[in-house]
Structure 1
């Protein structure tokens, strides 16, 4: 998994009907974009350091350097 500041981190629920968590990556600890990430969670308005698990994926911000990106 690779990310940049401004990308979204999406974590799917472990339960069938559970909510997904969405956050904005605000900081990187590795220069190559690999975890861990500092994420500001949209539902709770706080930041945490996270090592994403298998239920997580990154949506890259809309930017010419990220072809096919998902959001503006």
Structure 2
């Protein structure tokens, strides 16, 4: 999974009733992750790509 700075990510809830979380990649530490993500609530964290992560490309 490849993402670049500015791309949007969605982390899908892993259990029933858990909401999806959206954010923006603010730093890519490798070609395929990990990524520093700023979530819509302002929280920043290091995210490792996995099956519950979707990248929405914002760059052409």
Bin for the TM-score computed over the shorter chain: 0.7 to 0.9
Gapped regions of structure 2 (runs ≥ 5)? none
How far is 1:52 from its partner? 2.3
Partner of 1:47: 44
TM-score of the aligned structures, taking structure 2 as reference length: 0.87
The equivalences for 1:1-72 within 5 A come to 1-30=1-30, 32=31, 34-43=32-41, 45-61=42-58, 63=59, 65=60
Which stretches of structure 1, 4 residues or more, deviate above 4 A after TM superposition?
none
Cα RMSD, aligned residues only = 1.2
Tell me how many residue pairs correspond in the alignment: 60
Q: Using the alignment, how far apart are the partners of 1:8 and 1:40 within structure 2?
A: 10
